[in-house]
Amino acid sequence: MIARAGAGPLRRLVVLRHAKSAWPVGVPDHERPLAPRGRRDAPAAGRALVDADCLPDLAVCSTAVRARQTWELASAQWGTPPLVHHDARVYAADVPELLDVVREVPDHVRTLLLVGHNPGLEELVLDLAGDALDDALDEVRTKFPTSAIACLSWHGETWASLAPGTALLTDMTVARGKREA
């Protein structure tokens, strides 16, 4: 399927899966923090968004601790982070729920960052991408690991008009931080 060119301004949906989380005994899933690797990878994700010139105008983040920590560490890499909205619906969301969240974004926002969880994020990217540059779509189909970033572009007057198959997946990368010696 090929993404259709739509009318309206260019919009970008940047999807960031939370960084690697820890599994402490007795801690509910929603409250799990980042693991040491996640604490290294989340800032790398922030730097990757700078390098890709893909900084958001607004972020919507899951309320889960690991997603909030990913947002905090990633956005600390930017001069002035945008407004973030923590939305409980993003936690454990499926594609229809994620689309509901995205479609509520104000129309003045051109680039939205969505920070959340799999399998919902991976399925959202696959659902929205009608086409991709290079092998980005195959990469998402193979694996959308922690700290993965997918950038989708599309033209639309409103976020409410975003529909399956209408976006172009322009990039897929996995941010990894370096271990200190």
Per-residue pLDDT tens over the stretch 69-95: 999 999 999 999 999 999 999 999 999
Tell me the torsion sign for CA atoms 108, 114, 119, 122. positive
Tokens for 87?
A: 């939305």
Cross-strand bridge partners of residue 129: 167
pTM of this structure: 0.94
Per-residue pLDDT tens over the stretch 25-74: 999 999 999 999 999 999 999 999 999 999 999 999 999 999 999 999 99
- Would you place residue 2 in the very low, low, confident or very high pLDDT band (cuts 50, 70, 90)? very low
Query: Count of alpha carbons within 13 Å of 133, Cβ hemisphere only?
Result: 10
- The CA R_g of the chain, rounded to the nearest whole Å, is 15
Burial class (CB in 10 A: 0-12, 13-18, 19+), 7: exposed
CA distance 19 to 72: 11
- Within the chain, residue ranges assigned H as helices are 36-51, 65-75, 95-103, 120-128, 136-142
Q: Are 39 and 19 in contact (CB under 8 A)?
A: yes
